[in-house]
Amino acid sequence: QMQLQESGPGLVKPSQTLSLTCTVSGGSMSSGGYYWTWIRQHPGKGLEWIGYIYYSGNTFYNPSFESRVTISVDTSKNQFSLKLNSVTAADTAVYYCALRVVKAMTTGYFYGMDVWGQGTTVTVSS
């Protein structure tokens, strides 16, 4: 059973870099069809996709973040990471790592976020 766990500072100063790590257990990060994903949720609000990375290193980012975000993967450590530069108070949120899995069906390939970490709260404040 795949499990994900976020870790990183809970408080980041404005203009600095938010850095989070997601540790994966219970499975291989190098399996095809797995996209390692970051999503955030502002307090009391909806969900916002930040981006994901394939095990090969190919990345896909939300254009809303593209100039500030880097997602990387280290399969040897069973971890993937999020870096978000130049943070402001608007980046205060719960950050989730998740596993997007491809599902092969007779009608095509579909994707769902099958596994989620518990989430970690990041506050941007001086």
Partner 1 sequence: DIQMTQSPSSLSASVGDRVTITCRASQSISNFLNWYQQRPGKAPKLLIYAASSLQSGVPSRFSGSGSGTDFSLTISSLQPEDFATYYCQQSYSTPLTFGGGTKVEIK
- For partner 1, the binding residues (CB under 8 A) are 46-49, 60, 62-64, 96, 98, 103, 105, 107, 110-114, 116-119
Q: Which is nearer to partner 1, 16 or 59 (CB)?
A: 59
Q: How far is the CB of 62 from partner 1 (least distance, A)?
A: 4
**Count of alpha carbons within 13 angstroms of residue 50, beta-carbon side:** 27
Q: What whole-number distance in Å separates Cα of residue 13 and Cα of residue 118?
A: 23
Q: Which is nearer to partner 1, 7 or 16 (CB)?
A: 7
Q: What whole-number distance in Å separates Cα of residue 104 and Cα of residue 102?
A: 6
**Percent of the chain as helix, strand, coil, to the nearest 5:** 0, 60, 40
Q: What whole-number distance in Å separates Cα of residue 72 and Cα of residue 83?
A: 9
Q: Which is nearer to partner 1, 16 or 113 (CB)?
A: 113
Q: How far is the CB of 83 from partner 1 (least distance, A)?
A: 18
Q: How far is the CB of 76 from partner 1 (least distance, A)?
A: 26
Q: How far is the CB of 16 from partner 1 (least distance, A)?
A: 25
